[in-house]
């Protein structure tokens, strides 16, 4: 397993540098117009895509730092599957720099990370969404409000329709802690949004528990077909 060299940019390999140098951030993490409810790219001047106008997602707003493409897709893989949890802090910095993220975090009462199944937590050794949430705002992070009650196959291995069915009833809000959610503004955290099926199932559970506003915040947003 190849480890990243400290003080060397993971993208262009310039050094001395931060984990991703300023030049690479400026090149690959430029903000673009995105749908306010699904975070997919839009033509400048639009605020919402046609799909969301037809059918609103189960959350109120969706935010992302970058697109799930080079170089960020590889860094997500390193983060999740190559035991490099230190990427959470660097990714959180990019997330905070994205448009509208700071106001969303300031307005939030709770940051709720997407939970992993016990099996995946054992395999990985950490929950990447929890690490991101803590790096964004440790004192607002509540990792046990949302529970994964059904283990499911990896979403990445399934087509869109199967992804939606796969995560139905997979999440629940802790029934002993629903009072902590009722009337609160929640930011739901994950590393990547693809179809939005998992985030949607989690958001529905939080809404049923009484959350008044839900923002999904991810590091990277994948285009349809990924």
158 and 121 inside one domain: yes
CATH at residue 153: 3.40.50
Range of the domain at 201: 31-221
9 and 51 inside one domain: no
Concatenate the DSSP letters of all residues of the chain into one string.
-PPPPTTS-TTT--SS--SS-HHHHHHH-----B-TTT--B--TT--S-HHHHHS--SSSEEEEEEESSTTHHHHHHHHHHTT-TTHHHHHHHHHHHSTTHHHHHHH-SEEEEPPPPHHHHHHHSS-HHHHHHHHHHGGGB-TTSEEE-S----GGGS-HHHHHHHTTT-EEE-GGGHHHHTT-EEEEEEEEESSSHHHHHHHHHHHHTT-SEEEEEEEEEPPTT-
In a domain, 213, yes or no: yes
Q: How many domains does the chain have?
A: 2
In a domain, 226, yes or no: no
45 and 145 inside one domain: yes
Which pTM value belongs to this model? 0.90
52 and 158 inside one domain: yes
- pLDDT tens for the chain, 226 residues long, are 345 666 889 999 998 888 999 999 999 999 999 999 999 999 888 999 999 999 999 999 999 999 999 999 999 999 998 888 999 999 999 999 999 999 999 999 999 999 998 888 888 899 999 999 999 999 999 999 999 987 655 545 555 555 555 566 789 999 999 999 999 999 999 999 999 999 999 999 999 999 999 999 999 999 876 6
In a domain, 23, yes or no: yes
16 and 37 inside one domain: no
């Amino acid at each position: 397993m190849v480890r990243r060299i400290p003080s060397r940019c993971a993208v262009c390999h310039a050094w001395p540098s931060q984990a991703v140098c300023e030049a690479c951030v400026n090149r690959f993490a430029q903000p673009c117009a995105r749908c306010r409810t699904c975070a997919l790219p839009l033509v400048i001047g639009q605020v919402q895509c046609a799909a969301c106008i037809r059918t609103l997602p189960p959350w109120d707003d969706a935010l992302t730092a970058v697109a799930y493409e080079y170089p960020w897709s590889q860094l997500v893989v390193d983060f999740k599957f190559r035991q490099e949890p230190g990427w959470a802090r660097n990714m959180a910095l990019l997330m905070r720099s994205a448009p509208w993220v700071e106001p969303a975090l300031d307005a939030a009462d709770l940051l709720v990370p997407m939970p992993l199944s016990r099996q995946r937590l054992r395999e990985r050794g950490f929950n990447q969404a929890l690490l991101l949430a803590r790096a964004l705002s440790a004192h607002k992070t509540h990792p046990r409000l949302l529970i994964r009650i059904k283990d499911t196959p990896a979403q990445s291995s399934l087509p869109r329709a199967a992804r939606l069915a796969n995560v139905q009833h997979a999440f629940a809000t802790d029934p002993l802690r629903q009072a902590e959610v009722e009337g609160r503004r929640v930011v739901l955290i994950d590393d990547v949004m693809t179809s939005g099926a998992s985030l949607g199932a989690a958001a529905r559970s939080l809404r049923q528990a009484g959350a008044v506003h839900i923002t999904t915040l991810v590091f990277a947003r994948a285009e349809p077909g990924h």
